[in-house]
Structure 1
Amino acid sequence: MEFSANNPVVKLCIQGMHLEEAGNYKDALALFLQAWEEATDDAEKFTSAYYIARRQTKLVDKLKWLNTGLQLAQKINDEGVKPALPLLYTQLAQCYEELGETDNAEKYAKLAKQVPDAPSNKGPFFHGTRADLQIGDLLTAGGKSNYEADLIMNHIYFTALINGAGLAAALAKGEGEERVYIVEPTGDFENDPNVTNKKFAGNPTRSYRSLEPLKIIGEIKDWSRITAEERHKWQERLDNNQGEIIN
Protein backbone atom coordinates (compact mmCIF):
# COMPACT_ATOMS: atom_id res chain seq x y z
CA MET A 1 0.00 0.00 0.00
CA GLU A 2 1.35 3.41 -0.93
CA PHE A 3 0.30 5.64 1.92
CA SER A 4 -2.56 7.99 1.09
CA ALA A 5 -4.89 10.01 3.30
CA ASN A 6 -7.64 9.00 0.85
CA ASN A 7 -7.17 5.28 1.52
CA PRO A 8 -10.42 4.00 3.16
CA VAL A 9 -8.59 2.21 5.99
CA VAL A 10 -6.37 5.23 6.66
CA LYS A 11 -9.47 7.44 6.71
CA LEU A 12 -11.11 5.23 9.33
CA CYS A 13 -7.96 5.30 11.46
CA ILE A 14 -7.74 9.09 11.19
CA GLN A 15 -11.37 9.41 12.24
CA GLY A 16 -10.62 7.08 15.15
CA MET A 17 -7.65 9.23 16.18
CA HIS A 18 -9.86 12.32 16.22
CA LEU A 19 -12.30 10.51 18.51
CA GLU A 20 -9.39 9.48 20.76
CA GLU A 21 -8.32 13.11 21.04
CA ALA A 22 -11.87 13.94 22.15
CA GLY A 23 -11.77 11.17 24.75
CA ASN A 24 -14.29 8.96 22.94
CA TYR A 25 -12.29 5.74 23.14
CA LYS A 26 -15.20 3.33 22.67
CA ASP A 27 -16.22 4.75 19.29
CA ALA A 28 -12.56 5.12 18.31
CA LEU A 29 -12.01 1.40 18.89
CA ALA A 30 -15.13 0.61 16.84
CA LEU A 31 -13.62 2.51 13.89
CA PHE A 32 -10.26 0.76 14.27
CA LEU A 33 -12.01 -2.62 14.30
CA GLN A 34 -13.97 -1.58 11.21
CA ALA A 35 -10.68 -0.65 9.55
CA TRP A 36 -9.36 -4.13 10.36
CA GLU A 37 -12.42 -5.77 8.81
CA GLU A 38 -12.17 -3.63 5.67
CA ALA A 39 -8.39 -4.01 5.25
CA THR A 40 -7.48 -5.69 1.98
CA ASP A 41 -3.72 -6.12 2.37
CA ASP A 42 -1.07 -6.62 5.04
CA ALA A 43 -0.16 -2.92 5.22
CA GLU A 44 -3.75 -1.90 5.91
CA LYS A 45 -4.08 -4.70 8.48
CA PHE A 46 -0.86 -3.61 10.16
CA THR A 47 -2.08 -0.03 10.42
CA SER A 48 -5.42 -0.98 11.97
CA ALA A 49 -3.91 -3.64 14.28
CA TYR A 50 -1.60 -1.04 15.81
CA TYR A 51 -4.51 1.20 16.76
CA ILE A 52 -6.65 -1.67 18.00
CA ALA A 53 -3.78 -2.73 20.29
CA ARG A 54 -3.44 0.63 21.97
CA ARG A 55 -7.15 0.77 22.80
CA GLN A 56 -7.15 -2.54 24.64
CA THR A 57 -7.73 -2.40 28.41
CA LYS A 58 -6.61 -5.97 29.15
CA LEU A 59 -2.93 -6.84 28.81
CA VAL A 60 -3.60 -10.20 27.19
CA ASP A 61 -5.70 -8.54 24.49
CA LYS A 62 -3.11 -5.82 23.95
CA LEU A 63 -0.41 -8.48 23.61
CA LYS A 64 -2.51 -10.35 21.07
CA TRP A 65 -2.88 -7.30 18.83
CA LEU A 66 0.71 -6.14 19.30
CA ASN A 67 1.94 -9.57 18.24
CA THR A 68 -0.43 -9.50 15.27
CA GLY A 69 0.98 -6.12 14.27
CA LEU A 70 4.55 -7.37 14.73
CA GLN A 71 3.95 -10.43 12.56
CA LEU A 72 2.50 -8.23 9.82
CA ALA A 73 5.36 -5.73 10.08
CA GLN A 74 7.94 -8.49 9.76
CA LYS A 75 6.05 -9.94 6.79
CA ILE A 76 5.82 -6.58 5.00
CA ASN A 77 9.47 -5.68 5.76
CA ASP A 78 9.60 -2.37 3.90
CA GLU A 79 10.90 1.12 4.64
CA GLY A 80 7.50 2.39 5.70
CA VAL A 81 7.10 -0.23 8.42
CA LYS A 82 10.65 -0.95 9.65
CA PRO A 83 10.82 2.18 11.86
CA ALA A 84 7.80 0.84 13.78
CA LEU A 85 9.70 -2.23 15.00
CA PRO A 86 11.44 -0.54 17.98
CA LEU A 87 8.08 0.91 19.02
CA LEU A 88 6.37 -2.49 18.84
CA TYR A 89 9.22 -4.24 20.64
CA THR A 90 9.18 -1.62 23.42
CA GLN A 91 5.43 -1.92 23.91
CA LEU A 92 5.66 -5.72 23.99
CA ALA A 93 8.44 -5.48 26.59
CA GLN A 94 6.28 -3.22 28.74
CA CYS A 95 3.32 -5.62 28.53
CA TYR A 96 5.42 -8.63 29.47
CA GLU A 97 7.01 -6.70 32.33
CA GLU A 98 3.57 -5.85 33.72
CA LEU A 99 2.62 -9.52 33.42
CA GLY A 100 5.75 -10.49 35.34
CA GLU A 101 7.23 -12.38 32.37
CA THR A 102 10.77 -11.13 32.86
CA ASP A 103 12.44 -13.23 30.15
CA ASN A 104 10.07 -12.00 27.44
CA ALA A 105 10.32 -8.44 28.71
CA GLU A 106 14.13 -8.54 28.47
CA LYS A 107 13.97 -10.25 25.07
CA TYR A 108 11.87 -7.50 23.47
CA ALA A 109 13.67 -4.67 25.25
CA LYS A 110 16.90 -6.00 23.74
CA LEU A 111 15.34 -6.32 20.28
CA ALA A 112 14.16 -2.70 20.48
CA LYS A 113 17.77 -1.55 20.82
CA GLN A 114 19.06 -3.72 17.96
CA VAL A 115 17.01 -2.22 15.13
CA PRO A 116 19.20 0.14 13.05
CA ASP A 117 18.21 3.82 13.21
CA ALA A 118 19.40 4.73 9.73
CA PRO A 119 16.98 3.97 6.86
CA SER A 120 18.22 1.64 4.14
CA ASN A 121 15.97 3.04 1.40
CA LYS A 122 17.88 3.45 -1.89
CA GLY A 123 15.30 5.70 -3.54
CA PRO A 124 14.32 7.15 -5.89
CA PHE A 125 13.66 10.23 -3.78
CA PHE A 126 11.59 13.34 -4.45
CA HIS A 127 11.33 16.91 -3.18
CA GLY A 128 8.30 19.15 -3.65
CA THR A 129 8.68 22.91 -3.90
CA ARG A 130 7.62 25.99 -5.88
CA ALA A 131 11.20 26.95 -6.69
CA ASP A 132 12.35 26.85 -10.32
CA LEU A 133 15.50 24.71 -10.22
CA GLN A 134 17.83 23.09 -12.72
CA ILE A 135 19.43 19.66 -12.89
CA GLY A 136 22.65 19.78 -10.90
CA ASP A 137 21.39 22.42 -8.46
CA LEU A 138 21.72 21.68 -4.75
CA LEU A 139 18.94 21.98 -2.20
CA THR A 140 20.39 22.88 1.18
CA ALA A 141 19.15 23.24 4.74
CA GLY A 142 18.60 26.69 6.22
CA GLY A 143 15.35 27.66 4.54
CA LYS A 144 12.22 28.87 6.31
CA SER A 145 9.69 26.26 7.39
CA ASN A 146 6.49 25.94 5.35
CA TYR A 147 4.66 25.01 8.53
CA GLU A 148 5.90 27.35 11.26
CA ALA A 149 6.51 31.06 10.70
CA ASP A 150 10.07 32.33 11.17
CA LEU A 151 11.50 28.86 11.89
CA ILE A 152 14.76 28.23 10.05
CA MET A 153 15.08 24.54 9.21
CA ASN A 154 18.28 22.72 10.14
CA HIS A 155 17.59 19.91 7.66
CA ILE A 156 16.45 19.49 4.06
CA TYR A 157 13.42 17.21 3.69
CA PHE A 158 12.45 14.69 1.00
CA THR A 159 10.34 11.58 0.45
CA ALA A 160 10.24 8.35 -1.52
CA LEU A 161 6.60 8.99 -2.52
CA ILE A 162 5.94 11.11 -5.60
CA ASN A 163 2.49 12.18 -4.44
CA GLY A 164 3.89 13.04 -1.02
CA ALA A 165 6.34 15.40 -2.69
CA GLY A 166 3.43 16.76 -4.75
CA LEU A 167 1.54 17.58 -1.54
CA ALA A 168 4.62 19.33 -0.16
CA ALA A 169 4.81 21.38 -3.37
CA ALA A 170 1.15 22.37 -3.07
CA LEU A 171 1.67 23.54 0.53
CA ALA A 172 4.99 25.29 -0.14
CA LYS A 173 5.23 29.03 0.31
CA GLY A 174 5.30 31.27 -2.74
CA GLU A 175 3.34 31.73 -5.94
CA GLY A 176 5.53 29.71 -8.29
CA GLU A 177 4.48 26.58 -10.13
CA GLU A 178 4.27 23.38 -8.11
CA ARG A 179 7.38 21.33 -8.90
CA VAL A 180 8.44 17.81 -7.95
CA TYR A 181 12.13 17.09 -8.43
CA ILE A 182 13.99 13.81 -8.34
CA VAL A 183 16.78 14.27 -5.80
CA GLU A 184 19.86 12.42 -4.69
CA PRO A 185 21.13 12.75 -1.09
CA THR A 186 24.80 13.75 -0.94
CA GLY A 187 25.24 12.49 2.62
CA ASP A 188 23.63 10.54 5.41
CA PHE A 189 19.91 10.92 6.10
CA GLU A 190 17.38 9.80 8.70
CA ASN A 191 13.68 9.09 9.06
CA ASP A 192 11.84 12.36 9.62
CA PRO A 193 11.15 12.34 13.39
CA ASN A 194 8.23 14.73 12.91
CA VAL A 195 6.16 11.96 11.32
CA THR A 196 7.83 8.66 12.22
CA ASN A 197 5.76 6.86 14.88
CA LYS A 198 3.83 10.06 15.57
CA LYS A 199 0.34 9.56 14.12
CA PHE A 200 1.02 6.31 12.29
CA ALA A 201 3.34 3.51 13.35
CA GLY A 202 6.55 3.53 11.35
CA ASN A 203 7.21 5.95 8.52
CA PRO A 204 4.43 5.17 6.00
CA THR A 205 4.90 8.51 4.23
CA ARG A 206 8.55 7.53 3.66
CA SER A 207 9.69 10.96 4.79
CA TYR A 208 13.37 11.65 5.38
CA ARG A 209 15.70 14.53 6.19
CA SER A 210 19.38 15.30 5.90
CA LEU A 211 21.90 17.88 7.05
CA GLU A 212 23.66 17.49 3.71
CA PRO A 213 22.44 18.93 0.37
CA LEU A 214 20.15 17.15 -2.06
CA LYS A 215 21.21 17.17 -5.69
CA ILE A 216 18.56 17.74 -8.36
CA ILE A 217 18.85 14.93 -10.92
CA GLY A 218 15.50 15.22 -12.70
CA GLU A 219 11.92 16.46 -12.58
CA ILE A 220 8.56 14.67 -12.42
CA LYS A 221 5.82 16.20 -14.52
CA ASP A 222 2.95 13.86 -13.71
CA TRP A 223 1.60 13.26 -10.22
CA SER A 224 -1.77 13.38 -8.45
CA ARG A 225 -2.31 17.06 -7.79
CA ILE A 226 -4.68 18.05 -5.01
CA THR A 227 -7.61 20.39 -5.62
CA ALA A 228 -7.84 23.93 -4.29
CA GLU A 229 -10.41 22.71 -1.74
CA GLU A 230 -8.11 19.92 -0.57
CA ARG A 231 -5.22 22.37 -0.31
CA HIS A 232 -7.36 24.65 1.86
CA LYS A 233 -8.26 21.75 4.18
CA TRP A 234 -4.62 20.70 4.49
CA GLN A 235 -3.60 24.29 5.24
CA GLU A 236 -6.26 24.48 7.96
CA ARG A 237 -4.91 21.30 9.55
CA LEU A 238 -1.40 22.72 9.53
CA ASP A 239 -2.56 26.03 10.98
CA ASN A 240 -4.36 24.21 13.80
CA ASN A 241 -1.44 21.87 14.54
CA GLN A 242 -0.08 22.67 17.98
CA GLY A 243 2.77 20.16 17.88
CA GLU A 244 6.34 21.42 18.08
CA ILE A 245 8.54 20.77 15.05
CA ILE A 246 11.58 18.62 15.84
CA ASN A 247 14.29 20.64 14.14
Structure 2
Amino acid sequence: MTFYTWKAERLKRYGLVIILALFCALLLWVGQWSQLPVFSNDEEPRALTQGDEKQDLVALTFNISWGSDKVNEILKMLEAHKVQATFFVSGEWADRHPDLLSKIQKAEHEIGMMGFGYESYLEMKPEEINADIRQAKKVFDKLGYENVRWIRPPHGHMDKDVLKRIDQEGLQAVQWSINPRDWENPGTNRIIDQVVNKTSKGDIVLLHASDSVKQTPKALEVILPALKQKGLKLVSISELVSGSESKTSQVN
Protein backbone atom coordinates (compact mmCIF):
# COMPACT_ATOMS: atom_id res chain seq x y z
CA MET A 1 0.00 0.00 0.00
CA THR A 2 2.90 2.32 0.85
CA PHE A 3 4.45 1.52 -2.56
CA TYR A 4 1.31 2.54 -4.47
CA THR A 5 0.98 5.73 -2.43
CA TRP A 6 4.63 6.64 -3.20
CA LYS A 7 4.08 5.86 -6.88
CA ALA A 8 0.97 8.03 -7.03
CA GLU A 9 2.79 10.93 -5.39
CA ARG A 10 5.66 10.55 -7.84
CA LEU A 11 3.31 10.57 -10.83
CA LYS A 12 1.58 13.63 -9.44
CA ARG A 13 4.91 15.48 -9.20
CA TYR A 14 5.90 14.49 -12.74
CA GLY A 15 2.48 15.57 -13.97
CA LEU A 16 2.90 18.97 -12.35
CA VAL A 17 6.32 19.39 -13.97
CA ILE A 18 4.89 18.48 -17.37
CA ILE A 19 1.99 20.94 -16.96
CA LEU A 20 4.41 23.74 -15.98
CA ALA A 21 6.62 22.96 -18.96
CA LEU A 22 3.64 23.07 -21.33
CA PHE A 23 2.49 26.35 -19.80
CA CYS A 24 5.94 27.92 -20.32
CA ALA A 25 6.01 26.68 -23.91
CA LEU A 26 2.57 28.24 -24.46
CA LEU A 27 3.79 31.59 -23.10
CA LEU A 28 6.78 31.52 -25.43
CA TRP A 29 4.53 30.68 -28.38
CA VAL A 30 2.14 33.53 -27.59
CA GLY A 31 5.07 35.90 -27.16
CA GLN A 32 6.44 34.91 -30.53
CA TRP A 33 3.13 35.63 -32.23
CA SER A 34 2.88 39.00 -30.51
CA GLN A 35 6.05 40.00 -32.37
CA LEU A 36 4.45 39.57 -35.78
CA PRO A 37 4.02 42.72 -37.88
CA VAL A 38 1.18 44.84 -36.56
CA PHE A 39 -0.61 44.69 -39.89
CA SER A 40 -1.43 40.98 -39.61
CA ASN A 41 -5.14 41.63 -39.38
CA ASP A 42 -7.69 38.97 -40.22
CA GLU A 43 -10.49 41.49 -40.63
CA GLU A 44 -9.32 44.35 -42.84
CA PRO A 45 -6.26 46.55 -43.51
CA ARG A 46 -5.56 49.33 -41.03
CA ALA A 47 -3.17 52.26 -40.82
CA LEU A 48 -0.31 52.34 -38.35
CA THR A 49 -0.76 55.27 -36.00
CA GLN A 50 1.54 54.56 -33.06
CA GLY A 51 4.18 52.17 -31.78
CA ASP A 52 4.43 50.33 -28.48
CA GLU A 53 3.90 52.67 -25.53
CA LYS A 54 6.04 50.39 -23.38
CA GLN A 55 9.18 50.95 -25.44
CA ASP A 56 11.30 54.11 -25.44
CA LEU A 57 11.05 54.44 -29.22
CA VAL A 58 9.80 57.34 -31.33
CA ALA A 59 9.66 57.40 -35.13
CA LEU A 60 10.64 60.68 -36.74
CA THR A 61 9.13 60.96 -40.24
CA PHE A 62 9.46 63.55 -43.00
CA ASN A 63 7.20 64.10 -46.01
CA ILE A 64 8.71 65.42 -49.26
CA SER A 65 6.70 66.22 -52.36
CA TRP A 66 8.59 69.16 -53.89
CA GLY A 67 11.76 71.23 -53.68
CA SER A 68 15.36 70.30 -52.95
CA ASP A 69 16.76 72.88 -50.53
CA LYS A 70 15.35 72.00 -47.11
CA VAL A 71 16.06 68.28 -47.34
CA ASN A 72 19.81 68.97 -47.33
CA GLU A 73 19.53 71.14 -44.22
CA ILE A 74 17.49 68.48 -42.46
CA LEU A 75 19.85 65.67 -43.42
CA LYS A 76 22.77 67.65 -41.96
CA MET A 77 20.86 68.16 -38.73
CA LEU A 78 19.99 64.45 -38.44
CA GLU A 79 23.59 63.50 -39.12
CA ALA A 80 24.89 65.90 -36.49
CA HIS A 81 22.66 64.30 -33.86
CA LYS A 82 23.11 60.73 -35.17
CA VAL A 83 19.42 60.19 -35.75
CA GLN A 84 17.77 57.87 -38.27
CA ALA A 85 14.36 58.75 -39.68
CA THR A 86 11.87 57.65 -42.33
CA PHE A 87 11.36 59.87 -45.38
CA PHE A 88 8.07 59.53 -47.25
CA VAL A 89 8.54 60.86 -50.78
CA SER A 90 6.27 61.02 -53.80
CA GLY A 91 7.25 59.02 -56.87
CA GLU A 92 7.27 62.19 -58.93
CA TRP A 93 9.75 63.84 -56.53
CA ALA A 94 11.93 60.72 -56.48
CA ASP A 95 12.02 60.68 -60.27
CA ARG A 96 13.13 64.34 -60.36
CA HIS A 97 15.66 64.07 -57.53
CA PRO A 98 17.34 60.65 -57.67
CA ASP A 99 20.53 62.18 -56.29
CA LEU A 100 18.78 63.38 -53.15
CA LEU A 101 16.99 60.07 -52.71
CA SER A 102 20.35 58.33 -52.91
CA LYS A 103 21.72 60.78 -50.35
CA ILE A 104 18.86 59.93 -47.98
CA GLN A 105 19.53 56.22 -48.31
CA LYS A 106 23.31 56.55 -47.94
CA ALA A 107 22.70 58.38 -44.67
CA GLU A 108 20.92 55.16 -43.57
CA HIS A 109 17.47 56.67 -43.40
CA GLU A 110 14.44 54.64 -44.38
CA ILE A 111 12.48 55.44 -47.54
CA GLY A 112 8.70 55.24 -47.83
CA MET A 113 6.41 56.45 -50.58
CA MET A 114 3.45 58.80 -50.92
CA GLY A 115 2.15 57.47 -54.23
CA PHE A 116 3.25 59.16 -57.44
CA GLY A 117 1.57 62.51 -58.01
CA TYR A 118 0.72 63.48 -54.42
CA GLU A 119 -2.99 63.86 -55.13
CA SER A 120 -5.64 62.92 -52.57
CA TYR A 121 -6.74 59.30 -52.95
CA LEU A 122 -10.19 60.28 -51.69
CA GLU A 123 -10.68 62.25 -54.90
CA MET A 124 -9.63 59.36 -57.15
CA LYS A 125 -11.54 56.42 -58.54
CA PRO A 126 -10.51 53.07 -57.01
CA GLU A 127 -8.64 51.95 -60.12
CA GLU A 128 -6.83 55.31 -60.24
CA ILE A 129 -5.45 54.70 -56.75
CA ASN A 130 -3.96 51.38 -57.81
CA ALA A 131 -2.55 52.98 -60.96
CA ASP A 132 -0.93 55.81 -58.97
CA ILE A 133 0.72 53.39 -56.55
CA ARG A 134 1.96 51.19 -59.38
CA GLN A 135 3.39 54.20 -61.20
CA ALA A 136 5.27 55.15 -58.05
CA LYS A 137 6.50 51.58 -57.64
CA LYS A 138 7.94 51.64 -61.16
CA VAL A 139 9.92 54.76 -60.32
CA PHE A 140 11.34 53.31 -57.10
CA ASP A 141 12.13 50.01 -58.81
CA LYS A 142 13.88 51.83 -61.65
CA LEU A 143 16.00 53.76 -59.15
CA GLY A 144 16.93 50.59 -57.31
CA TYR A 145 14.56 50.83 -54.34
CA GLU A 146 12.62 47.60 -54.74
CA ASN A 147 11.86 46.98 -51.08
CA VAL A 148 9.75 50.05 -50.25
CA ARG A 149 7.08 48.71 -47.90
CA TRP A 150 5.53 51.79 -46.25
CA ILE A 151 3.14 54.29 -47.81
CA ARG A 152 1.66 57.48 -46.40
CA PRO A 153 -1.36 58.37 -48.55
CA PRO A 154 -1.08 61.92 -49.96
CA HIS A 155 -2.26 64.49 -47.39
CA GLY A 156 -2.97 61.59 -45.02
CA HIS A 157 -6.33 61.14 -46.75
CA MET A 158 -7.69 57.61 -46.51
CA ASP A 159 -10.78 55.53 -45.94
CA LYS A 160 -11.50 51.81 -45.91
CA ASP A 161 -11.38 51.52 -49.68
CA VAL A 162 -8.07 53.41 -49.90
CA LEU A 163 -6.57 51.07 -47.30
CA LYS A 164 -7.89 48.09 -49.23
CA ARG A 165 -6.21 49.35 -52.42
CA ILE A 166 -2.96 49.93 -50.55
CA ASP A 167 -3.09 46.41 -49.16
CA GLN A 168 -3.70 45.01 -52.65
CA GLU A 169 -0.43 46.59 -53.76
CA GLY A 170 1.47 44.90 -50.95
CA LEU A 171 2.11 48.09 -48.95
CA GLN A 172 1.34 49.18 -45.40
CA ALA A 173 -0.28 52.52 -44.61
CA VAL A 174 1.35 54.79 -42.02
CA GLN A 175 -0.27 57.75 -40.30
CA TRP A 176 1.06 59.68 -37.31
CA SER A 177 0.25 60.58 -33.70
CA ILE A 178 2.13 63.91 -33.40
CA ASN A 179 1.60 66.66 -35.97
CA PRO A 180 2.99 70.15 -35.25
CA ARG A 181 1.79 71.32 -38.69
CA ASP A 182 5.25 72.65 -39.49
CA TRP A 183 4.27 73.20 -43.13
CA GLU A 184 2.16 76.16 -41.94
CA ASN A 185 5.33 77.76 -40.51
CA PRO A 186 3.60 78.58 -37.21
CA GLY A 187 6.86 79.69 -35.57
CA THR A 188 9.97 77.76 -34.58
CA ASN A 189 9.11 77.78 -30.87
CA ARG A 190 5.60 76.50 -31.52
CA ILE A 191 6.93 73.58 -33.55
CA ILE A 192 9.41 72.79 -30.79
CA ASP A 193 6.76 72.97 -28.05
CA GLN A 194 4.29 70.81 -29.97
CA VAL A 195 6.83 68.05 -30.55
CA VAL A 196 8.86 68.11 -27.34
CA ASN A 197 5.95 68.52 -24.92
CA LYS A 198 3.54 66.08 -26.57
CA THR A 199 5.83 63.31 -27.82
CA SER A 200 6.11 60.19 -25.69
CA LYS A 201 6.89 56.49 -26.07
CA GLY A 202 5.66 54.95 -29.32
CA ASP A 203 4.72 58.17 -31.08
CA ILE A 204 5.10 58.78 -34.81
CA VAL A 205 6.06 62.39 -35.44
CA LEU A 206 5.07 64.03 -38.73
CA LEU A 207 7.39 66.70 -40.09
CA HIS A 208 8.18 67.94 -43.61
CA ALA A 209 11.29 68.36 -45.71
CA SER A 210 9.74 70.11 -48.72
CA ASP A 211 10.79 73.66 -49.49
CA SER A 212 7.52 74.96 -48.01
CA VAL A 213 8.89 74.53 -44.47
CA LYS A 214 10.99 77.46 -43.34
CA GLN A 215 11.34 76.77 -39.60
CA THR A 216 11.69 72.99 -39.33
CA PRO A 217 15.51 72.73 -39.68
CA LYS A 218 16.05 75.28 -36.90
CA ALA A 219 13.40 73.61 -34.74
CA LEU A 220 15.25 70.30 -35.07
CA GLU A 221 18.28 71.85 -33.34
CA VAL A 222 16.21 71.82 -30.15
CA ILE A 223 13.82 68.91 -30.83
CA LEU A 224 16.43 66.20 -31.41
CA PRO A 225 18.47 66.64 -28.20
CA ALA A 226 15.33 67.41 -26.18
CA LEU A 227 13.65 64.11 -27.13
CA LYS A 228 16.84 62.24 -26.27
CA GLN A 229 16.91 63.97 -22.89
CA LYS A 230 13.41 62.57 -22.30
CA GLY A 231 14.94 59.12 -22.66
CA LEU A 232 13.50 58.50 -26.12
CA LYS A 233 15.34 56.80 -28.97
CA LEU A 234 14.59 58.16 -32.45
CA VAL A 235 14.16 55.36 -34.97
CA SER A 236 12.72 54.43 -38.36
CA ILE A 237 9.18 53.13 -38.83
CA SER A 238 10.52 49.60 -39.38
CA GLU A 239 12.42 49.69 -36.11
CA LEU A 240 9.39 51.13 -34.31
CA VAL A 241 7.14 48.23 -35.31
CA SER A 242 9.75 45.49 -35.06
CA GLY A 243 8.99 43.43 -32.02
CA SER A 244 6.44 45.87 -30.63
CA GLU A 245 2.73 45.90 -29.94
CA SER A 246 1.92 48.83 -32.19
CA LYS A 247 -1.45 50.48 -32.60
CA THR A 248 -3.48 50.63 -35.78
CA SER A 249 -6.46 52.84 -36.50
CA GLN A 250 -9.82 51.83 -37.82
CA VAL A 251 -10.79 54.06 -40.74
CA ASN A 252 -14.43 54.57 -41.64
TM-score with structure 1 length normalisation?
A: 0.25
Which structure has the bigger radius of gyration?
A: 2
TM-score with structure 2 length normalisation?
A: 0.25
